Amino acid sequence: MGLSTADVQVIEETLASGKHPKVVFTDSAGQIAGRVGKVMRLEEPAEGEFVTVRFGNDELPFSAADVRIPARGELSRATRKPAAEPEEPAITPPQGAPLLAERHNDVDNGSNGTTKRGAMSDQESGAAVPRQADPVDANRPAPRRKAAAKPKAGPELTVSLTFKDDEWSVSASKGTKMIARPVPVKASKAVELVNSLESPAVAAVVEEIVEQSRVAASEEADRLRQQLADVEARLAELS
Tell me the percentage of the chain whose pLDDT exceeds 70: 67
5-68 topology per CATH: SH3 type barrels. (2.30.30)
Work out the mean pLDDT of the chain and round it to a whole number. Answer: 76
Burial class (CB in 10 A: 0-12, 13-18, 19+), 22: middle
70 contacts 24 by C-beta, under 8 angstroms: yes
Q: What is the pLDDT of residue 120?
A: 46
Between 156 and 91, the more confident residue is 156
Helix (H) or strand (E) holding 142: none
Domain boundaries, the chain: 5-68, 164-233
Q: What is the pLDDT of residue 10?
A: 92
Burial class (CB in 10 A: 0-12, 13-18, 19+), 37: buried
Looking at residues 170-193, what average pLDDT do you find? 83
Q: What is the pTM of this model?
A: 0.34
Beta strands in the chain (DSSP E): 22-25, 36-42, 51-55, 58-62, 67-68, 106-107, 115-116, 157-164, 167-174, 177-185
